[in-house]
Amino acid sequence: MAAVSYSMKELAEQLELKFSGNGNFLITHVCGLDSLQVGGLAYLTSPDGLTSVPTPAGMSRHVGTTVDEINSSKVALVVSPGVQHPEHNLIYADDPLAVHVEATKLFHPAEPFIPDVSMKSGIHPSAVVSKNAKLGKNVKIGPNVVVYDGVNIGENTILHAGVVIMSEVVIGADCTFFPNTVVREKCEIGNRVILQSGVVIGSDGHGYFQRGGVNLKIPQVGTVSIEDDVEVGACTT
């Protein structure tokens, strides 16, 4: 995918926000205050310039960085309306962090889902979908996906390559299941759930008991219910 860049004016228009500074300044990437480089877009969360920046370990540390200490002729900042430095490249927002996240989406657009541009139904020709499955509007199903009997999938949900959805699973709307995820029978998944690659939901608990020196398997009849707005990390079971 080609590199994405915006002028200061273009980005402010995309975000529907006001800006000050050089409207022609070219922004080439988003970054944090601790990794500012020429062409970068960072954010400050308070008018006095004190912000909390996430570290690689996921903890928070305070970075005493003010607008005055940054050479903003070479970078751009998303700041609250209380910051008044017209000579700097500033985009004004009531919630600078949220706007920075939206800008990140513009610079890193999601990869197109459909691997076969000839697809019109939203279901890849190699997918196996039961006739008894119910699919909501705009559901997209990728290569080698298997959807069993009795499955109900909400609108706008995306199943990437190799996903397996077993019998009587209920999946909400606006979900994204990345490649090779598995949802076992009778599990329930809420709305806007993201399953990263390799996730298995509802797998057996490996219960056994012994009789006569032989291990006998105990049927695993429980199910899993995941509520709305949950993301599960890769290869989780």
Report, as an integer, the average pLDDT of 108-129. 76
Looking at per-residue confidence, does 57 or 210 come out higher? Answer: 210
Single pTM value for the model: 0.74
Reply yes or no on whether the pLDDT at 94 is more than 90. yes
Which residue(s) pair with 159 in the sheet?
A: 141, 177
User: Domain coordinates of the chain in residue numbers?
Assistant: 6-107, 128-232
Q: Produce one character per residue of 103-130: b if its CB has 16 or more CB atoms within 10 Å, e if not.
A: beebbeeeeeeeeeeeeeebbbeebebe
Q: Say whether pLDDT at 158 is over 60.
A: yes
> Fold for domain 128-232?
UDP N-Acetylglucosamine Acyltransferase; domain 1 (2.160.10)
> Does the pLDDT of residue 74 top 70, yes or no?
yes
Is the pLDDT higher at 110 or at 67?
Answer: 110
Residue with tokens 């949220």: 98
Q: What is the mean pLDDT of the chain?
A: 86
Return the CATH number of 6-107, one of 3.40.1390.10, 3.40.50.1820, 3.10.129.10, 3.40.50.2300: 3.40.1390.10
Phi–psi pair at 103, nearest 5 degrees: -65, -40
CB 172 within 8 A of CB 153: no
Determine the pLDDT at residue 50.
43
